[in-house]
């Protein structure tokens, strides 16, 4: 009988050697990838490992999680803090970039480690979460700023916390009166759906507050039956779900793949929210598309897929200036373009002048 250590369906794969044992990495690439694994965390959960086809060199799940030697090639424009968290962190673990909301990084580890992660320089196994003292300071900051209407729990992935720990954090945020919305960003319902059990769902609910869960998913194959069931447990408990995806070369950068993903999300009762242009994280150039490519992809969705399937294509401006929508423009020179590319004149607004009596 195959041991648990050898079965990718029973344990998270955390080393290039274990990836090699399961056929995800050829033996001749081990030395080259060892340096990648030393620098950036490796982790593929059983749910994701069982989706990978080792015989397919273009497997979209493998490309998201299996290390690549090209990650050691750092372009001049890339940065360890590509979206500028640090300049907007008044206390450790907290990012206050926008007036009415803050990001609370409760833990610095994830269930899986994406090869395009924009926080890859600070995320990994054993990095832990906020210390009790740091969490107290972050919550004191939130309590002392009444303009903060929403708190976003992120990291890392907050849903890898135990239900007890998660419940404690949510409850402590919820007692702050001016905070009305608690949002969680996570990959867990897709990559480790077994963690979304009844205790986890209960931990996310806070009386008098609106809780939203935003699922990070990049390919329709990630939405397995177990993933869909995990999402349904959250939604059926009254927790709305949105999605965020990253536009990735060779993974979801064609109209059919992207449209299929968006439809699959809507079928799961998850509203597509953001399509992120990939950030300038170190060693990720091979996974980034051009902005013009992304805009053309968004054009391809418009009109051909339901309005429910349309995410907002956004760029997180390097340096900490926040997200801006960068989707295509359909209005120019007094004409508006329809989804087939035809242009139609739209009359300018005219002032209404009442006749003199």
Please give the positions annotated as active site.
Answer: 97-98, 101, 110, 114, 117, 119, 279, 316, 323
Cβ atoms 142, 171 nearer than 8 A: no
CA nearest neighbour of 80 among 284, 277, 248, 247: 284
Residue 108 has what DSSP assignment?
S
> Which residue in 155, 129, 117 sits closest to 36, CA to CA?
117
The whole-angstrom separation of Cα 160 and Cα 206 is 19
The neighbour count for residue 28, using CB atoms within 10 Å, is 8
Q: How far apart, in whole angstroms, are the C-alpha atoms of residue 8 and residue 50?
A: 7
Q: Which residue has the tokens 């080792």?
A: 54
Three-class SS state of 155:
strand
Residue-by-residue DSSP string for 46-87: HHHHTT--TT-TT-HHHHHHS--GGGG---TT--SSTT--GG
By DSSP bridging, strand 241-247 and strand 270-277 are parallel
Measuring CA to CA, which residue among 192, 195, 180 is closest to residue 216?
A: 192
Give whole-number Cα distances, 244 to 24, 120, 213, 330, 350, in Å. Answer: 27, 18, 10, 24, 40
């Amino acid at each position: 009988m195959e041991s648990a250590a050898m079965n990718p369906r029973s344990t998270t794969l955390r080393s290039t050697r274990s990836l090699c044992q399961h056929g995800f990495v050829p033996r001749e690439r081990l030395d080259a990838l060892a340096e990648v694994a030393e620098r950036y965390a490796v982790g593929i959960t059983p749910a994701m490992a069982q989706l990978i086809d080792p015989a397919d060199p273009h497997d979209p799940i493998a490309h998201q999680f299996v290390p690549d030697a090209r990650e050691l090639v750092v372009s001049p424009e890339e940065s360890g803090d590509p979206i500028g968290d640090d300049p907007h962190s008044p206390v450790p673990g907290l990012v206050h970039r926008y007036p009415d909301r803050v990001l609370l990084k409760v833990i610095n580890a994830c269930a899986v480690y994406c090869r395009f992660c924009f926080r890859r320089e600070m995320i990994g196994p054993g990095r832990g979460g906020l210390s009790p003292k740091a969490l107290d300071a972050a919550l004191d900051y939130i309590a002392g700023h009444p303009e903060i209407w929403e708190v976003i729990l992120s990291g890392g992935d907050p849903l890898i916390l135990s239900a007890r720990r998660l419940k404690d954090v949510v409850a402590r945020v919820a007692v702050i009166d001016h905070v009305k919305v608690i949002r969680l960003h996570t990959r867990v319902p897709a990559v480790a759906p077994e963690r979304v059990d009844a205790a986890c769902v209960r931990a996310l609910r806070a009386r008098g507050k609106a809780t939203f869960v935003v699922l990070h998913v990049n390919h329709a194959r990630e939405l397995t039956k177990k993933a869909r069931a995990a999402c349904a447990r959250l939604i059926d408990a009254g927790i709305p779900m949105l999605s965020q995806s990253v536009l990735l070369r060779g993974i979801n950068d064609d109209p059919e793949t992207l449209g299929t993903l968006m439809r699959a999300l809507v079928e799961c009762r998850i509203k597509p929210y953001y399509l992120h242009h990939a950030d300038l994280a170190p060693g990720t150039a091979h996974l980034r598309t051009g902005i013009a490519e992304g805009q053309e992809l968004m054009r391809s969705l418009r009109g051909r897929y339901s309005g429910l399937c349309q995410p907002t294509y956004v760029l997180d401006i390097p340096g900490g200036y926040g997200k801006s929508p960068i989707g295509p423009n359909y209005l120019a020179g007094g004409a508006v373009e329809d989804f087939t590319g035809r242009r139609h004149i739209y009359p300018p607004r005219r002032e209404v002048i009442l006749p003199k009596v």
